[in-house]
Structure 1
Amino acid sequence: MKAYVDRSLFKNPLGEYLSWLKLKCGLQLQYWGRHLRIGYLSVINNCVFGKYNWIGEHCVIINSQLGDFSYINSYTYIMHTKMGKYCSVGPHVKIAPGMHPTSKFVSTHPVTFNNQGNFVRNFTDRAVFKNYKQVTIGNDVWIGANAIIIDGVKIADGAIIAANAVVVKDVGLYEIVGGNPAKVIKKRFNDDQIDYLLYFRWWEKDPEWITQNISRFWDIEDFVEYEHSN
């Protein structure tokens, strides 16, 4: 059995602050000109950002990708996620928190099927169960506070995940879902409007175009009618 070092003995507020400061400065320098903002004591590892992203305080984001203008509110935990543009993620959200086997394997405890470094002792020296799957999130998706999105789920463009929802299966285009497990409540717009938005793909437009046409965004009927007439 390998020796285990209790790293918590070496943690202290000053060390955590300096580690965060190094991360923040390094990433914001790397993404200079893209206006990345990282909140206090957030932890980020192996991530790719677009433009105008901001991350709230005390977030953990690992092995993930964010499109332009997408933001993450405080105390949110995101793993193995590919997120599109203009997504809004509320506080205390959990995305891809990890999986355990539910059949075939005798035990659900990781020490019996993975050699994770965070356990004092493992019973295997190799990983025989993949404990994560990528979550894919489209564009213009809103995820409410305290929502949980299980590994492997795909959320389509324009969807809304209600606060406290537990999403265990894919969410369709412009669907609003809520509950535990999450179920469809309704669609945001009618089918013709949704078809037009998917055809038009406003999130791919230059920000200057959005600035010039922002008042059209305040009413879906006005938006569709105006764009059809041009």
Structure 2
Amino acid sequence: MMKFFDRSFLYNPLGQYLSWLKCKGWYQINHWGQHLRIGYLSRISNVTFGRYNIVGEHCMLINCSMGDFSYVNSYSYVLNAAIGRYCSIGPNVKIAPGKHPTSVFVSTHPVTFNNQVNMLRNYCKEEKFRNYSPVTIGNDVWIGANAIIIDGVNIADGAIIAANSLVTKDVGPFEIVGGTPAKFIKKRFDDDQIICLLETSWWDKDEEWVQKNISKFWDIEDFTHADLNEA
């Protein structure tokens, strides 16, 4: 009888709603004044937020940090990720979804190399393969809908990940990548402009500075030729 019974028998719409309400209330109260918004039925665990963060509906965020103004759109799954400021993460994005061994180990099945609580039976009593690695995402990064970012990848400041891409290796500053697996397409700006943006690091400026200089954000030539330290 115990083998037949599992926790899913207890799941119901009211229980899910109450669990979400508890999570939403706890995070938004503990981040009072930071303007945090958590969408309907999203699951959040061990996440550190900045200011003005938005999590869409039906998301899962576990073991993450998010910088100011970054948001995650609906139905995204984000694990073990450090996300910088002003990042835009589209719907149905998967970040650090986990990995399996592809060589040396005889089998790719986790019951043969780890003692995972979500498995009904394990052959191992200890971890023989670490099936996750943290992902680092810089500032002002845009990740398009349905993209997958594999464990251990680093995405630098200003990068763009095209929709439906599978990112398996690091992405450089202000690079645009796309495809399966994702490949370099082009840089967003020329090298001198990129150097200027990286040196300015506008994403680290306070909100008053950004507001004061916002008109220069609408054209890269205006931004790179402006005396921003004096503005």
Cα offset for 1:115?
1.1
- 1:131 aligned residue: 131
Q: CA deviation at 1:49?
A: 0.6
Report the Cα distance in structure 1 between the residues aligned to 2:184 and 2:4, rounded to whole angstroms. 47
Which amino acid counterpart does residue 38 of structure 2 have in structure 1? I
Q: Map of 1:41-80 to 2, 5 A cutoff?
A: 41-80=41-80
Equivalent residue, structure 1, for 2:93: 93
Distance across 2 between alignment mates of 1:130 and 1:4: 30
| In 1: Cα distance, 2:158 partner to 2:34 partner | 24
Please state how far the C-alpha of 1:3 moved relative to its aligned partner.
6.5
- 1:227: how far off? 2.6
* Contact 1:57/1:75, CA 8 A, preserved across alignment: yes
Runs of 4 or more above 3 Å deviation: 2-5
What is aligned with 1:223? 223
Paired position in structure 2 for 1:177: 177
For 1:69, the aligned partner's letter is F
**Secondary structure of the equivalent of 2:227?**
helix
Partner of 1:118: 118
Q: Which runs of 5+ in 2 are unaligned?
A: none
- 2:150 is equivalent to residue 150 of structure 1: yes
Cα-to-partner distance string for 1:172-201 (whole Å, 9 max, x where unaligned):
010000001100100000000000111111
**Residues 20-66 of structure 1: per-residue CA shift (max 9 Å, x gap):** 00000110000001111000000011111111100000000000110
Give the 3-state SS of the residue equivalent to 1:32 in structure 2: coil
**Shift in Å, 1:138:** 0.3
Q: Which residue is 1:6 aligned to?
A: 6
User: After alignment, is 219-228 or 97-106 more displaced?
Assistant: 219-228
Q: Give the equivalent residue in structure 2 for 1:21.
A: 21
CA RMSD of aligned residues (A): 1.4
Identity of aligned residues (%): 65
The aligned length equals 229
Which secondary structure does the structure 1 equivalent of 2:226 belong to? helix
Task: Give the alignment's TM-score, normalised by structure 1.
Answer: 0.97
Number of the residue aligned with 2:168? 168
Give the match's secondary structure for 2:163.
coil
Against the structure 1 CA distance between its residues 219 and 54, is the aligned structure 2 distance closer, same or farther, given a 3 Å change threshold? same
Query: What is the match of residue 30 of structure 1?
Result: 30
Tell me the amino acid that sits aligned with residue 183 of structure 1: K
Q: Read off the aligned partner of 2:31 and give its amino acid letter.
A: Y
Residues 121 and 27 (structure 1), Cα distance of their counterparts in 2 relative to 1, 3 Å cut: same
TM-score normalized with structure 2 length: 0.96
Verify the 8 A CA contact 1:4 1:120 in the aligned structure 2.
no
Amino acid across the alignment from 1:181? P
